[in-house]
A = this chain, B = another copy of it.
Amino acid sequence: MNIPVNPGDRYDVYCAACPTRMVLDRIADKWAMLILGRLARQPVRFNQLRREIDGVSQKVLSQTLKRLERDGLIARAVFATVPVTVEYSITPLGETLNDAVAALRTWAETHIETVLEAQRRYDKA
């Protein structure tokens, strides 16, 4: 897909720098898309998010938020209240990604039954 070498040569098909690969690695994350989807609805604070995304640990939530922020997909706003208030929100860029993922959601909902059926058939044999 990326970086063709010479005719007949192999392609370095798994290229960490490949855009598609990078994005896939991102959304592949167990929690990232859930968080992004939640923030797409409205901004929310850390512990609120922690409660709503059930099952995520504090550490992993923190890590994931940091990564998403680094990628410019979400924004972090700090308010100097006592105690401090931190609010996370989705960015315009994050929204475009969220839209793109919608195609997958649609696929999933449309075809999941077919997949499950295929699994049952496979497991019989």
Contact = CB atoms under 8 A, between A and B. Distances in A.
A11 B40 CA distance: 16
Contacts of A12: 54-55
A103 B69 CA distance: 22
Contact of A13 (B54, B69, B70, B72): B54
Per DSSP, chain A at the interface is: helix
A103 B105 contact: no
A86 interface: no
Contacts of A71: 115, 118-119
Contacts of A77: none
A23 to B, nearest CB: 4
Interface of A: 1, 10-14, 19-20, 22-24, 27-31, 33-34, 37-38, 51-56, 69-73, 93, 96-97, 100-101, 103-109, 111-112, 114-115, 117-119, 121-123
